[in-house]
Amino acid sequence: MGTYKRVSPRKAWIQFVFIFAAVMGPLYIAYFYAQESGHLGFIRVFTAQLTGKFLYLTGISVQVSMEFIKYGDFIPIRVIYECTGIFTMIIFFSGILAYRSTIVDKLIGFGLGIPGIYFLNIFRLFILAIIGHFSPQYFDFFHNYLWYALFSIVVLGMWLFWVDVVVERESEYAK
């Protein structure tokens, strides 16, 4: 595939951090402006609809209207932009783009990672709704603390898996 000039590990990490920030910053700004202009509302609606379909499969009475999910006796959940997984996808995308690898490796990372994060996020919303339905007293803890940490760890693990299995293994075969 592609060959790279050898650089020191320190220089490689400095490059990574610089590129990571240079990609992530503008993407966050663009996302902020797109969300403020209302161009991305469909993502919230689609996320709510998909989560509602999974909840329906459990037998829980569920109604979805735009970005609102109403189920059982629990208060409706509003899927806001932070609930769509886009912020995490931007971090993951930036990490893949910043890491020294071939175009093919990056495409594999994007192709598996971005949809993987989205469906992991749908699973997160589904579990939160189940918790809200059966144990509403724990909803805030799971929503505000546990899932943030767990989601971040899983996405970091996905990125490390990509580095180890896709990028590093391919470079071993190229030797």
The confidence score (pLDDT) of residue 173 equals 52
List the one residue out of 118, 2, 129 whose CA is nearest residue 53: 129
Surface-to-core class of residue 45, CB atoms within 10 Å of its CB (0-12 exposed, 13-18 middle, 19+ buried): middle
pTM here is 0.83
Would the pLDDT of 136 be above 50?
yes
Distance CA 52, CA 3 (A): 47
Please state at what angle helix 103-134 crosses helix 147-161, rounded to 10 degrees: 160
- Contact between 69 and 55 under an 8 Å Cβ cutoff? The reply is yes
Would the pLDDT of 84 be above 80?
yes
Residue 130 domain-assigned?
yes
The confidence score (pLDDT) of residue 71 equals 81
Structural domain harbouring 150: 9-166
Residue 79 domain-assigned?
yes
Distance CA 152, CA 147 (A): 8
List, for residues 93-115, the tens digit of each pLDDT value.
999 999 999 999 999 999 999 99
Q: Domains in the chain: how many in total?
A: 1
List, for residues 1-51, the tens digit of each pLDDT value.
455 566 777 888 899 999 999 999 999 999 999 888 888 889 999 999 999
Residue 57 domain-assigned?
yes
Residue 19 domain-assigned?
yes
